[in-house]
Amino acid sequence: MSLVEEGVDDYTQDGTVDIRGNPVRRLKHGGWTACSFVVVYEVFERMAYHGISSNLVLYMTKKLHQGTVKSANNVTNWVGMVWIMPVLGAYLADAHLGRYWTFVIASAIYLMGMSMLTLAVSLPHLKPPHCSEANVNNCQKASTLQLAVFYGALYTLAVGTGGTKPNISTIGADQFDDFDPKEKAHKLSFFNWWMFSIFFGTLFANTVLVYIQDNVGWALGYGIPTLGLAISIAIFLAGTPCYRHRVPAGSPFTRMARVIVAAGRKWRVRVPSDPKELHELDPQEYAKKGKFRIDSTPTLRFLNKACVQTGTTSPWKLCSVTQVEETKQMLRMIPILIATFVPSCMVAQINTLFVKQGTTLDRSIGSFKIPPASLSGFVTISLLVSVVLYDRFFVKIMKRWTKNVRGISLLHRMGIGLILHIVIMMVASFTERWRLRVAREHNLVESGGQIPLTIFILLPQFVLMGAADAFLEVAKIEFFYDQAPESMKSLGTSYAMATSGVGNFLSSFLLSTVARITKRHGHHGWILNNLNASHLDYYYAFFGVLNVLNFVFFLFVAKLYVYRAEVSDSMVMLKEELKGLEKVHNQEARVT
Of the candidates 297, 286, 291, 302, the residue with the CA atom closest to the CA atom of residue 329: 297
Distance CA 77, CA 163 (A): 18
Find, among 556, 50, 66, the residue nearest to 347 by Cα: 50
pLDDT of 571 = 42
| C-alpha separations of 512 from 151, 505, 509, 517 in Å | 20, 11, 5, 9
Residue 86's pLDDT is 86
Question: DSSP secondary-structure letter at 565?
Answer: P
Residue 257, C-beta contacts closer than 8 angstroms, at least 6 positions apart: none
Rg of the chain, C-alpha, whole Å: 26
CB 222 within 8 A of CB 73: no
Amino acid type, 592: T
Cβ-based neighbours of 150, under 8 Å, separated by 6 or more: 64, 117, 120, 121, 126, 127, 142
**Per-residue model confidence (pLDDT) at position 5:** 40
Q: Which residues contact residue 1 at a Cβ distance below 8 angstroms, ignoring those fewer than 6 apart?
A: none
Three-state SS at 141: coil
Instruction: Walk along the chain (592 residues) in steps of 10 and give the mean pLDDT of each run.
Output: 47 77 80 85 88 88 85 90 88 86 95 95 88 72 90 94 86 82 74 71 87 90 92 92 84 88 91 86 67 81 90 88 91 94 92 88 87 87 87 85 82 95 96 94 87 94 93 88 81 83 92 90 82 91 96 95 62 45 48 45
CA–CA separation, 217 vs 359, rounded Å?
18
Distance, CA of 260 to CA of 267 (rounded, Å): 10
Amino acid at 325: E
Are 64 and 128 spatial neighbours (Cβ–Cβ below 8 Å)?
A: yes
Give the residue from 39, 75, 40, 71 showing the smallest Cα distance to 54.
75
What is the pLDDT, as a whole number, of residue 489?
78
Least Cα distance to 31 among 165, 240, 173, 238 occurs for: 173
23 phi and psi angles, rounded to 5 deg: -55, 150
Which three-class secondary structure state does DSSP give residue 17? Answer: strand
Type and span of the H or E element at 365: strand 364-365
Which strand (E) or helix (H) includes residue 356? helix 353-358
Amino acid sitting at position 115: S
Q: Give the pairing type, strands 361-362 and 368-369.
A: unpaired
Residues whose CB is less than 8 angstroms from the CB of residue 9 and which lie 6 or more positions away in sequence, other chains included: 3
| Contact of 54 with 351, CB cutoff 8 Å | yes
| Contact between 27 and 46 (Cβ < 8 Å) | no
What pLDDT, on the 0 to 100 scale, is given for residue 78?
93
Query: Is the pTM above the cut of 0.85?
Result: no
313 by Cβ neighbours in 10 Å (0-12 / 13-18 / 19+) ranks as exposed
The pLDDT of residue 223: 94
In angstroms, the first-to-last Cα distance of the chain is 47
